[in-house]
Amino acid sequence: MSTLTRRAVLKACLLLAGMPRLVSASSTSAGVNLNEKSPILFSSEDDYLSGGVFDGKGGVILVDRQLTLRNGTFKNVTFAPSAGYKGSGPIFKARNGNVTHDQVSVIGFLGGGCKVISDEDNENNSFIAIGACKYNSNGGLVRCRLAKRANLKLSGVLYVDEENVFSPGDFVWVGDGKFKVEKVFGRSVILEKKYGITKVYHGWYDKAPIGQFVTKDANDKNGIRIGSGGYGWTIDTTNASVECSNNAWFGLFHYSKKYAGLQSIENIKTINNGFCNIGLGFVNAGFVRKCLSSGSGNNGIDIFESKSGVIVSDNVVMDTGVDGIFVGGNGESANVFDNKIKNAARIGLLINGRGNAINGIKVYDNVILNSGMNSLTLTAVGNAEVRDNILDGSSLRPAIFLEARKGVISNEMPKIHNNVVKNSPLGPLGGQHVRLPTFVTTN
């Protein structure tokens, strides 16, 4: 094949917004250790025409502009920024409704990692991960920790453990609230006030403990984002080992607002992401299991809304800036069991009803340790079975807290029994604006 023909094939195969540079083994970029193989992308024109598979042969592509890739299947390749490029990683567009990553890495993009999207917003899009896939160190994470406790509603001053991390005008997240920096004096960060009260731009005020993350806002600068806020995607990571760590916003984010697809979320390791480690919009069916989450600025695993029949199990979640595992629902939600949750700054496990009270769920065999507020909160939850959980360490509320939501009515109550409650000064069970169930046993 002539050089001119090969260039034409590469252009047709990649369908890039701009051509990347291909580098050899000796090069490095943004702290990425490139492997020993230079990429041999295609041996013949048939490689593209027969199925659209992009095989990087173990090589690295240094990206110097926004890329839109339409091959569908990508294998054995790492994408990293070239020197001086401060934009985001590739956009992978679905081919025949699918994007597959087979040992693909997207590493070190200041503008955020990669997006997996489709030109067609329908119920038939899918993302499949195979082998070792990594989406790490994207978005330019900026954060530090509180050196002193902060009651954010009463005090607009944060004392942090590093100097001059933030600048006036920055938006920062502390716990579940978003605030604006007005002034910075060394390790003192002064937040904007309104009528004498710290102004919150999103969320709410937390009583933040020493060690709480203070994170610069980095909306949509994720490790990997799947979807564009429409129908859910089918996602399958069961044959992969996925890493999504040290990103400025979410590690993995499924951006969906309509139920669709089968979400098989498994074997994901997420550490030290600025907002949530794993964020899932509408979970239609499937499971979230065998994932590791540590050091998130907000929730460790966050499911905005779930249908019944979904399983959240066998996950290890620790050291979260807000809640360990958050699962929402509208009249129904997931069953949550066999998870280990430790050191959540606020609530270990929060089941949250919206619109209509959640009924018919089971919460059992979870181990929840050392929660800043309390172990388990059920908000707008009616008929549920809560049993055989170990709840050790609740500080500001009873271990199990039942919470009403204005306008959400349920005539049923959870059945709570055979839970082991330890180190809860305010007792095993309490509530806010609700009747407490009479069928309660704890050990």
Q: What DSSP assignment string belongs to 276-303?
A: -SEEEEEE-SEEEES-EEE--SS-SEEE
- Looking at residue 417, its pLDDT comes to 94
Query: Taking a C-beta distance cutoff of 8 angstroms, is the pair 387, 361 a contact?
Result: no
Query: Taking a C-beta distance cutoff of 8 angstroms, is the pair 347, 317 a contact?
Result: no
- Looking at residue 334, its pLDDT comes to 98
Query: Taking a C-beta distance cutoff of 8 angstroms, is the pair 389, 364 a contact?
Result: yes
All structural domains of the chain with their residue ranges: 1-140+223-297, 143-216, 312-443
Handedness of CA 357, 341, 400, 322 (dihedral sign): negative
Task: Decide the pairing of beta strands 53-63 and 21-23.
Answer: antiparallel
pTM: 0.89
CA count, 13 A, side-chain hemisphere, 121: 10
Planar angle of CA 374, 375, 379, nearest 5 degrees: 80
Nearest CA among 262, 248, 261, 370 for reference residue 317: 370
Rounded to the nearest 5°, which phi and psi values hold at 6? -60, -40
- Looking at residue 440, its pLDDT comes to 60
b/e per residue, 246-284, with b = 16+ CB within 10 A? bbbbbbbbbbbeebbbebbbbbbbbbbbbbbbbbbbbbb
**What tokens does 386 get?**
């809560």
Report how far residue 239's alpha carbon sits from residue 122's, in angstroms, rounded to the nearest whole number: 25
- Looking at residue 357, its pLDDT comes to 95
Rounded to the nearest 5°, which phi and psi values hold at 415? -100, 120
Report how far residue 247's alpha carbon sits from residue 249's, in angstroms, rounded to the nearest whole number: 6
DSSP structure string for 33-49: E--SPPP---SSTHHHH
Q: Indicate the average pLDDT of the chain.
A: 88
**What tokens does 442 get?**
């704890």
Rounded to the nearest 5°, which phi and psi values hold at 344? -80, 130
**Number of other residues whose CB lies within 10 A of the CB of residue 212:** 24
- Looking at residue 33, its pLDDT comes to 33
Handedness of CA 426, 430, 432, 435 (dihedral sign): negative
- Residue reference for tokens 């499949």: 128
Query: Taking a C-beta distance cutoff of 8 angstroms, is the pair 402, 414 a contact?
Result: yes
355 burial type by CB count under 10 A (0-12 exposed, 13-18 middle, 19+ buried)? middle
Report how far residue 80's alpha carbon sits from residue 240's, in angstroms, rounded to the nearest whole number: 21
Report how far residue 262's alpha carbon sits from residue 235's, in angstroms, rounded to the nearest whole number: 6
**Number of other residues whose CB lies within 10 A of the CB of residue 432:** 11
**What tokens does 334 get?**
């997931």
Averaged pLDDT in 10-residue chunks for the chain of 443 residues: 38 38 35 34 35 86 92 94 95 95 98 97 97 98 96 89 95 95 95 90 88 96 98 98 98 98 98 98 98 98 98 98 97 98 97 95 98 96 96 96 87 92 95 66 62
Handedness of CA 135, 141, 147, 151 (dihedral sign): negative
Q: Which amino acid is at 15?
A: L
- Looking at residue 442, its pLDDT comes to 62
Report how far residue 385's alpha carbon sits from residue 398's, in angstroms, rounded to the nearest whole number: 18
